[in-house]
Amino acid sequence: MSYLNEIKAYMRDINLDILMNCQDVKIDISKRYYNKFRFFYPSRKLIKYTTNIGGVLVGSRAIRCFTINGKPILERRVDDWDFIVTLDMAFKICDDMGIEEIPQIDGVISIKNQRRWAHPSYQDAYRVGPVDVQLIVKEELPDYTEIDGVRIANFGYSISQKIGMTNDLHSKITGRGGVIDEQYHKHISDMKEMIIKFNSLKWKQPD
């Protein structure tokens, strides 16, 4: 498990470095997408509705929107959309979008095409495999930046999410004899990419 502890330490260093050294962190909301063919995105109506109602984009897709000193910190192609919404927002989304699941605080509603699942926690949501949208229900929205009506969770919050993921991974590995669910591999890959890209920014051309 030493490699998970190493990853966690590096991720904490990234967060601390940005706070202490005032790195030039910017957001490009166009990075939520990969191309211009947005009409064909799965569950696009739900994504648009959740964005318009004020859902906060979190997770790897949110991190894709950040640049540090002009360079992206994560470029992996992300398939799902993770939003944090309040309970009231979740009920409104379920009502208007025909989702017959009862939202709960700290619960997650997963959507893939016309199929929907409700889970007691984000970790339990991985049992159904890849999905299009995750609605993560919280009492309050996280700190975010809003640009042209799009809310992106602040970088520090997204980093904290990734650090929390290492704790969950550690418990799963110790409880399953070292076996990691396939869905968790992408998070490990994300963190490795972020660590490499961030630390590469420190390199300077020799005089």
Q: Is 69 a residue whose pLDDT tops 50?
A: yes
Name the token pair of 200: 């590469």
| Three-state secondary-structure class, residue 48 | helix
Instruction: Quote the Cα angle for 178-181-183, to 5°.
Output: 145
What CA–CA distance (Å, rounded) separates 106 from 85? 10
| Three-state secondary-structure class, residue 54 | coil
Name the token pair of 130: 């890849």
Q: Is 125 a residue whose pLDDT tops 50?
A: no
CA 159 to chain centre: 9
What CA–CA distance (Å, rounded) separates 73 from 96? 36
Q: Is 68 a residue whose pLDDT tops 50?
A: yes
The DSSP secondary-structure symbol of 4 reads H
Percentage of the chain beyond pLDDT 70 is: 78
Full-prediction pTM beyond 0.75?
yes
Q: Is 58 a residue whose pLDDT tops 50?
A: yes
Q: Is 189 a residue whose pLDDT tops 60?
A: yes
Considering 88-92, 120-124, 155-159, 170-174, the range whose residues carry the highest mean pLDDT is 88-92
- Average pLDDT, stretch 96-112? 91
What CA–CA distance (Å, rounded) separates 131 from 117? 10
- Average pLDDT, stretch 187-206? 84
Looking at residue 42, its pLDDT comes to 60
Higher pLDDT pick, 10 / 169: 10
pLDDT in tens, 6-43: 998 999 998 888 877 767 889 999 998 865 545 555 67
Longest dimension (CA), the chain: 63
Nearest to residue 131, comparing CAs of 72, 203, 83? 83
Higher pLDDT pick, 59 / 116: 59
The per-residue DSSP string of 88-147 comes to: HHHHHHHHHHT------TT-EEEEETTEEEEESSTGGGGGG---SEEEEEESSPPPEEEE
